């Protein structure tokens, strides 16, 4: 088993109501897991995470990074014990632990447990598929961002919700996550925005050797980051760098659905030349009567007259009370982490805050859905 970064800690055990850490590893038969919030019940195989077991049996717990860092899968452990044999639960702070929280993507149950977790019904009927796709085109959006257009086999369509992501499957069981930048109404191509990671194996390949015509293997759609079309709330979106990609898909989906709720997009990048979709964004303004765009530069040149600094600071400066909003954010983990804290402190609610944190790939085994 390969581990993600920093996985040097011994396996952890967390129990409820008295939580404690230890190094004990137990072998176990299938455990019964009950979600008190929904009444759903499912079984976990030995050494299967609570999240993997839930998804395998159609119980749609929220998740994003699947390596213990983003907190999307945080829920409450009501009774029983869990342990963390893969990655340590980095996204839990002392307050979370004292409050009986656990991370479903890393927690393995020790015996039967009861949890309290929200479930995301909207994705329950969307099948996760393994598909080949041909690289149709590779375009330079900036010196460090490429757009890939991928074509599925003739007659094949991928059902997904705007904002979800795909895994690109690589040799050796590795996988790399990329948000789908095109909306579901675009049936010809899947679009990805790929930022070059210095020393990165897959993104290095995209920038240096990938040619149109190459066949990729995909798994998806994945994740619970998608636009809530049914919500009446005004929308705030915040993206950092290529975190714009899933937000683009969401905005296009909202426009396609004729949803004209007030919508403000904050996009944080380093310099003005990193704003790689200005024309498209201007077009959003033409097609959506209540759309506003706020670019925020962290390293602007002298002639920049717009917003400066961190993108989440700009959003909070403009909105002292976030309680009325549906908030979506995606991009670098540091931005998502800081944004989450700031948004909750400004009255935003966990239920109406949705995010994908672009953590680097955990190299975890695929989720078994058989």
Ligand X SMILES: Cc1cc2nc3c(=O)[nH]c(=O)nc-3n(C[C@H](O)[C@H](O)[C@H](O)COP(=O)(O)OP(=O)(O)OC[C@H]3O[C@@H](n4cnc5c(N)ncnc54)[C@H](O)[C@@H]3O)c2cc1C
Question: Does 201 interact with ligand X (rule: CB under 6 A)?
Answer: yes
Question: Does 311 interact with ligand X (rule: CB under 6 A)?
Answer: no
What are the beta bridge partners of residue 139? 147
Question: Does 202 interact with ligand FES (rule: CB under 6 A)?
Answer: no
Question: Does 225 interact with ligand FES (rule: CB under 6 A)?
Answer: no
Total H helices, total E strands in the chain = 7, 18
Q: Alpha-carbon distance 160 to 162, whole Å?
A: 7
The dihedral through the CA atoms of 112, 115, 117, 119 has a sign that is positive
Binding residue for ligand X (CB under 6 A) from 17, 171, 199, 230?
A: 199
> Closer to ligand X at the Cβ: 198 or 286?
198
Question: Does 177 interact with ligand X (rule: CB under 6 A)?
Answer: yes
What are the beta bridge partners of residue 265? 237, 293
Q: Which window, 52-60, 74-82, 196-204, 226-234, contacts ligand X (CB under 6 A)?
A: 196-204
Question: Does 164 interact with ligand FES (rule: CB under 6 A)?
Answer: no
Among the listed residues 355, 358, 292, the one whose alpha carbon sits nearest the alpha carbon of residue 329:
355
Find out whether 264 and 342 touch, Cβ atoms under 8 Å.
Answer: no
CB of 169 to ligand X, least distance (A): 12
Among the listed residues 165, 151, 166, the one whose alpha carbon sits nearest the alpha carbon of residue 214:
151
CB of 316 to ligand X, least distance (A): 24
SS3 assignment, position 211: coil
Q: Alpha-carbon distance 331 to 204, whole Å?
A: 19
CB of 208 to ligand X, least distance (A): 11
Please give the radius of gyration of the chain, using alpha carbons only, rounded to the nearest integer. Answer: 21
**Pattern 49-78, binding to ligand FES, x per CB under 6 A?**
--------------xxxx-xxxxxx-----
Question: Does 119 interact with ligand X (rule: CB under 6 A)?
Answer: no
**Number of shown-chain residues binding ligand X (CB under 6 A):** 25
Place of tokens 């995209």: 206
Which residues sit at the interface with ligand FES, rule CB under 6 A? 63-66, 68-73, 91, 103, 105
Sites of contact with ligand X (CB under 6 A): 64-65, 165, 176-179, 193-195, 197, 199-204, 223, 242, 245, 356, 358-361
């Amino acid at each position: 088993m390969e581990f993600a970064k920093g996985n040097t800690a011994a396996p952890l055990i967390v129990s409820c109501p008295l939580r404690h850490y230890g190094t004990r590893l137990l072998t176990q038969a299938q455990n019964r897991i009950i979600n008190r919030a929904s009444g759903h019940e499912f079984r976990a195989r030995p050494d299967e995470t609570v999240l993997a077991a839930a998804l395998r049996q159609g119980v749609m717990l929220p998740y994003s990074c699947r390596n213990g860092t983003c907190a999307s899968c945080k829920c409450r452990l009501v009774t029983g014990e869990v342990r963390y044999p893969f990655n340590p639960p980095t996204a839990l702070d002392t307050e979370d632990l004292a409050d009986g929280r656990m991370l479903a993507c890393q927690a393995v149950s020790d015996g039967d447990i009861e949890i309290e977790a929200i479930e995301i019904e909207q994705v329950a009927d969307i099948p996760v598929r393994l598909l080949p796709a041909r690289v149709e085109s590779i375009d330079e959006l900036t010196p460090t961002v490429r757009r890939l257009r991928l074509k599925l086999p003739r007659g094949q369509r991928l059902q997904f919700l705007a904002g979800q992501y795909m895994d690109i499957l690589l040799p050796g069981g590795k996988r790399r996550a990329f948000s789908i930048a095109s909306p579901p109404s675009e049936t010809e191509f899947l679009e990805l925005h790929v930022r070059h990671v210095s020393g990165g194996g897959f993104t290095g390949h995209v920038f240096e050797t990938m040619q149109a015509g190459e066949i990729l293997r995909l798994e998806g759609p994945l994740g619970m980051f998608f636009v809530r079309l049914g919500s009446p709330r005004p929308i705030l979106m915040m993206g950092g760098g290529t975190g714009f990609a899933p937000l683009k898909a969401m905005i296009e989906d909202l426009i396609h659905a004729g949803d004209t709720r007030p919508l403000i997009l904050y996009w944080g990048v380093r310099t003005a030349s990193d704003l790689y979709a200005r024309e498209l964004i201007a077009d959003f303004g033409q097609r959506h009567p209540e759309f506003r765009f706020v670019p925020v530069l962290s390293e602007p040149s002298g002639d920049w007259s717009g917003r400066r600094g961190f993108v989440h600071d700009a959003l909070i400066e403009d909105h002292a009370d976030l309680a009325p909003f549906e908030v979506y954010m995606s991009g670098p983990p540091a931005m998502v982490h800081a944004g989450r804290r700031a948004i909750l402190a400004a009255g935003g609610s966990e239920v109406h805050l949705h995010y994908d944190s672009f953590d680097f790939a955990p190299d975890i085994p695929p989720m078994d859905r058989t």
